[in-house]
Chains A and B, each alone.
Chain A
Amino acid sequence: MNKKDFNIVIVGIGGQGLITITRILAEAALLEGLDTKTSELHGLSQRGGSVETSLRFGLKIYSSLVKEGGANLIISLELQEALKSCYYASREIGTLFLINEFSKPIPGEKIPKKTEILEELQGFSKKTIMVPATNLCEEKLGKAVLAGVFMISLASFKNLVPLSPKSILKAIKKQIPGKYLELNLKAFNLAKDYNFSI
């Protein structure tokens, strides 16, 4: 495999804006002169169930899907969904998890503890980072759905993804329609000022 290929899987729940953030990342890759591909699903699979998109960029990309165990970065917008994405994660490739500390209960099932999830993820990852993105965006910006844009911006600022904040910012401006742009830029800036130790 080409060393410059970078593989991202994004998981979450329908309605969390996965498709938008996937497109922003792809746009940013294109702005950096890279080849890129994404894959997404529409229709039934968007109705509040588990959702997953994939994104790859590099010098020349063929498949839009990330292969089993082949994700460099997994962005999970919900705690339990992170477990489902382990299909794409492996210690061999050194998968990095960026997880939104947010739980949407599954009706009739008890919510697993954060520590339980972290333990399970260990077998599949090099490093796991949790951020309370939903809470933060709700608290500071009044909109939970901005968690996604916050997380990809954070990934860029903290070098978890080889795409510069400048490109991400440009891509946000290109992909987000006018009336929502301002809030999304706020989410970007919130990520810029957010500190955590890796």
Chain B
Amino acid sequence: MEKVLLKKSAKKILLLGNEAIVRGALESGVKFVSTYPGTPASEIGNTFFKIQNSKSKIQDLHFEFSTNEKVALEAAAGASFSGLKSLVAMKHFGLNVASDFLIPLCYSGIKGGQVLVVADDPSCWSSAQSEQSTRAFAYLAHIPILEPSDPQECKEFTKLAFQLSEKFKIPIMLRETTRVALQTAPVKLGKIVRGKTKAKFVKDPHRFSTMPPRVLEMKRELLEKIEKIKRVSEKSPLNQIHRGRVSGKSKMGIITSGISYLYVIEALKELNLEIPVLKLGFFYPLPEKKIQQFIKSLKKVLVVEELEPFLEKEVERLAKDINPLVEIFGKNLLSEIGELKPEDVILALTRFSNKKPKFNFTNHLKKFQNLKLKKRFPQLCPGCPYWLIFQSVKRAAPKGTIFGGEIGCYMLAAYPPHYLQDYLFCMGSSAGIAHGIKKALRRGSDETEKQKVIAFVGDSSFFHAGIPALINTVYNKSNPLIIIMDNKTTAMTGQQPHPGAPAEDKGIEIEDIVRAVGVKNVKVIDPVNLRELEKTVKEFLNKKEVSVIIARRPCIQISK
């Protein structure tokens, strides 16, 4: 953290992509930062949290872990409506949660610059529920998207995003992927600036109330804004041709962005190829003329991008007007699933350019696959209280019990030796689905009617999205057993505080909320009391109404 606050500008220091974003925000005069933790975006919030709690803190900088991503975005927008510069960070499916607000927010726009950092996780290294490309939100929300490749660009693009946001009064998204967010490289520092500190909310319902028929006017204004930003994109050095110009007989070209750009340059070096590369820093709005200019005289173009072929489809569309005969390669040579690796790009490039690779990747891979490797599953930490909870639940639950999982350390319930997970989706969903299953099973047979459902919910997840699902079980009357795995922290992402476990005081008691919404069967149990926990699970599984066990014992990482 100290290094992010270093005063010496022009010095080069090692920073993670995420730390470089923090630095970029500080060099832009950010005043309000909010987040909900999620790997691979967590270090952004963690770093601001440390800054806030350190002696060398930045004056007038507000940082908060919000209850969820939607609330984080709303809070930051409120600050931006009041004229302050704000930054919000989340992982890809955090944006799904925030999207309800994001779309109208782009209509109204903001006053103080606002940067929304979203980290995608191709290959799902630390993501259970889905692999997705946040680029899709460009089409849904019309939010401008910048895509950095390395930590230096993370910092510079953050600064540029603030500038664009202030100028065009629209939130700007910075989209990273795991290998950008968690890439360390030397970063040249700039100067930290104080920024505007005096906030003022000037009433302007014309701008901030998205009521019909005004809302359609707002949409028109948004599209006009995007046209203006497109002109910036056309001229921006972020969209640039690297490694020579289009010439020679081969007439080949490569279009790429983000992390893929780095692999393209390495692959060209490896294969001794001189092919021009158009690197795009803007994903939306795209510099359409620049792309057309680039492909105008090409015979073949290779689009190198991770996940869904958004860029490839755009290039196909743009080629129709300018060079309908150009051959476009992309997802026919590269997978749409999982992240790209340097060798994937080398292989794609050999097939694209008909050049032989120096190294026989195919043979090597075969040889590697012949090794009999044993899988090492992730494990709960030694001393983790969840071991005790899973053990008791396993003993108490009758055969056939259905177990609902969720996002957090307790999703390790799926792995050996626990095997306590029959479904897993997004945060807040375990209880929501449990209600539906319970209701449905009444319409099955006598046997299914007796079948039990246990939904696990983490403490941070409960605040994030579990409360509406719990209320639904009360309101619409079903009887799953909900076990709130209260370890007093947001453990999986690195022990961040949450409303039930703030850094300073006692926080909101989960049992107060559970009782307040009308749950009759509630018990708080320390899972070291295995017998009591087991007995209560058995007892609560036979209740006619929903029941809740709060299994409370702090995460071993914070209590040790």
Contact present for B342 and A67 (CB under 8 Å):
yes
Please name all residues of chain B whose beta carbon is closer than 8 Å to the beta carbon of A107 when the two chains form the complex: 416-417
The reply to whether the CB of B475 lies closer than 8 angstroms to some CB of chain A is no
Q: A37 vs B14: C-alpha distance in the bound complex, in angstroms? A: 9
* CB nearest to A35 among chain B residues: B186
Please name all residues of chain B whose beta carbon is closer than 8 Å to the beta carbon of A162 when the two chains form the complex: none
Contact present for B361 and A43 (CB under 8 Å):
no
Cross-interface CB contact of A48 among B126, B342, B364, B381, cutoff 8 Å:
B381
The reply to whether the CB of A14 lies closer than 8 angstroms to some CB of chain B is yes
Do A47 and B379 contact each other (CB < 8 Å), given the known contacts A30-B12, A90-B364? yes
Q: A70 vs B368: C-alpha distance in the bound complex, in angstroms? A: 13
Contact present for A38 and B125 (CB under 8 Å):
no
Interface-facing stretch out of A78-86, A139-147, A148-156, A180-188: A78-86
Contact present for A30 and B359 (CB under 8 Å):
no
The reply to whether the CB of A45 lies closer than 8 angstroms to some CB of chain B is yes
Contact present for A47 and B378 (CB under 8 Å):
yes
* CB nearest to A111 among chain B residues: B374
Contact present for B179 and A45 (CB under 8 Å):
no
Please name all residues of chain B whose beta carbon is closer than 8 Å to the beta carbon of A66 when the two chains form the complex: 342
- Closest chain-A Cβ to B341's Cβ sits at a distance in Å of 6
Contact present for B184 and A38 (CB under 8 Å):
yes
Please name all residues of chain B whose beta carbon is closer than 8 Å to the beta carbon of A83 when the two chains form the complex: 371, 373
Please name all residues of chain A whose beta carbon is closer than 8 Å to the beta carbon of B184 when the two chains form the complex: 22-23, 26, 36-40, 64
Contact present for B40 and A39 (CB under 8 Å):
no
The reply to whether the CB of B346 lies closer than 8 angstroms to some CB of chain A is yes
Contact present for B14 and A41 (CB under 8 Å):
no
* CB nearest to B266 among chain A residues: A63
Segment 71-93 of A: residues with Cβ below 8 Å from B: 80-81, 83-84, 86-87, 90, 92
* CB nearest to A80 among chain B residues: B374
Q: A70 vs B263: C-alpha distance in the bound complex, in angstroms? A: 14
Residues of B in contact (CB 8 Å), total 53
Cross-interface CB contact of B493 among A43, A63, A109, cutoff 8 Å:
A43
Contact present for A39 and B183 (CB under 8 Å):
yes
Contact present for B266 and A49 (CB under 8 Å):
no
Contact present for B492 and A49 (CB under 8 Å):
no
Do A49 and B377 contact each other (CB < 8 Å), given the known contacts A2-B269, A62-B266, A65-B342? yes
- Closest chain-A Cβ to B152's Cβ sits at a distance in Å of 11
Contact present for B494 and A42 (CB under 8 Å):
yes
Please name all residues of chain A whose beta carbon is closer than 8 Å to the beta carbon of B43 when the two chains form the complex: 42
Cross-interface CB contact of A67 among B261, B343, B381, B492, cutoff 8 Å:
B343
Q: A39 vs B261: C-alpha distance in the bound complex, in angstroms? A: 16
Q: Which of B261, B266, B361 has the most CB of A within 10 A?
A: B266
The reply to whether the CB of A198 lies closer than 8 angstroms to some CB of chain B is no
The reply to whether the CB of B42 lies closer than 8 angstroms to some CB of chain A is yes
Segment 125-180 of A: residues with Cβ below 8 Å from B: none
The reply to whether the CB of B66 lies closer than 8 angstroms to some CB of chain A is no
Please name all residues of chain B whose beta carbon is closer than 8 Å to the beta carbon of A27 when the two chains form the complex: 14
Please name all residues of chain A whose beta carbon is closer than 8 Å to the beta carbon of B493 when the two chains form the complex: 43
Please name all residues of chain B whose beta carbon is closer than 8 Å to the beta carbon of A45 when the two chains form the complex: 125-126, 378
Contact present for B373 and A64 (CB under 8 Å):
no
Q: A83 vs B370: C-alpha distance in the bound complex, in angstroms? A: 11
The reply to whether the CB of B185 lies closer than 8 angstroms to some CB of chain A is yes
Segment 176-192 of B: residues with Cβ below 8 Å from A: 178-179, 182-186
Do A13 and B376 contact each other (CB < 8 Å), given the known contacts A2-B269, A65-B179? yes
- In the complex, per-residue mask of A16-30: 1 if CB is within 8 Å of any chain B CB, else 0: 000000110011001
The reply to whether the CB of B305 lies closer than 8 angstroms to some CB of chain A is no
Contact present for A1 and B270 (CB under 8 Å):
yes
Q: A61 vs B269: C-alpha distance in the bound complex, in angstroms? A: 11
- Closest chain-B Cβ to A78's Cβ sits at a distance in Å of 9
Segment 383-420 of B: residues with Cβ below 8 Å from A: 409, 411-412, 416-417
Contact present for B416 and A108 (CB under 8 Å):
yes
The reply to whether the CB of B150 lies closer than 8 angstroms to some CB of chain A is yes
Q: A30 vs B184: C-alpha distance in the bound complex, in angstroms? A: 12
* CB nearest to B491 among chain A residues: A47
Residues of A in contact (CB 8 Å), total 49
Do A109 and B374 contact each other (CB < 8 Å), given the known contacts A41-B178, A44-B39, A62-B266? yes
Contact present for B179 and A30 (CB under 8 Å):
no
- In the complex, per-residue mask of B113-128: 1 if CB is within 8 Å of any chain A CB, else 0: 0000000000001111
Q: A1 vs B269: C-alpha distance in the bound complex, in angstroms? A: 6
The reply to whether the CB of B238 lies closer than 8 angstroms to some CB of chain A is no
Contact present for B343 and A44 (CB under 8 Å):
no
The reply to whether the CB of A69 lies closer than 8 angstroms to some CB of chain B is yes
Please name all residues of chain A whose beta carbon is closer than 8 Å to the beta carbon of B371 when the two chains form the complex: 83, 86, 120
Contact present for B128 and A39 (CB under 8 Å):
no
Please name all residues of chain A whose beta carbon is closer than 8 Å to the beta carbon of B341 when the two chains form the complex: 65, 67-68
Please name all residues of chain A whose beta carbon is closer than 8 Å to the beta carbon of B412 when the two chains form the complex: 47
Please name all residues of chain A whose beta carbon is closer than 8 Å to the beta carbon of B128 when the two chains form the complex: 44
Contact present for A69 and B494 (CB under 8 Å):
no
* CB nearest to B183 among chain A residues: A64
Q: A40 vs B182: C-alpha distance in the bound complex, in angstroms? A: 6
Q: A124 vs B365: C-alpha distance in the bound complex, in angstroms? A: 11
Segment 134-179 of B: residues with Cβ below 8 Å from A: 150, 178-179
- Closest chain-B Cβ to A115's Cβ sits at a distance in Å of 15
Contact present for B126 and A14 (CB under 8 Å):
no
The reply to whether the CB of B265 lies closer than 8 angstroms to some CB of chain A is yes
- Closest chain-B Cβ to A17's Cβ sits at a distance in Å of 15
Q: Which of B128, B265, B364, B381 has the most CB of A within 10 A?
A: B364
* CB nearest to B3 among chain A residues: A174
- Closest chain-B Cβ to A107's Cβ sits at a distance in Å of 7
Segment 199-227 of B: residues with Cβ below 8 Å from A: none
The reply to whether the CB of B55 lies closer than 8 angstroms to some CB of chain A is no
Q: A2 vs B125: C-alpha distance in the bound complex, in angstroms? A: 30
The reply to whether the CB of B510 lies closer than 8 angstroms to some CB of chain A is no
- Closest chain-B Cβ to A81's Cβ sits at a distance in Å of 8
Do A30 and B186 contact each other (CB < 8 Å), given the known contacts A23-B14, A83-B373? yes
Contact present for A63 and B342 (CB under 8 Å):
yes
Contact present for B266 and A68 (CB under 8 Å):
no
Give 10 A-B contacts (CB < 8 Å), ordered by A residue. Answer: A30-B12, A43-B492, A44-B125, A47-B380, A47-B381, A61-B185, A64-B262, A67-B270, A106-B375, A124-B368
- Given A37-B184, A39-B179, 18 further pairs, Cβ under 8 A: A1-B269, A13-B376, A22-B184, A30-B186, A37-B150, A37-B185, A38-B183, A38-B185, A43-B126, A43-B493, A44-B411, A44-B492, A67-B266, A67-B341, A67-B342, A68-B342, A106-B376, A107-B416
Closest 6 CB pairs of A and B: A43-B39, A43-B126, A48-B379, A49-B378, A47-B378, A67-B342
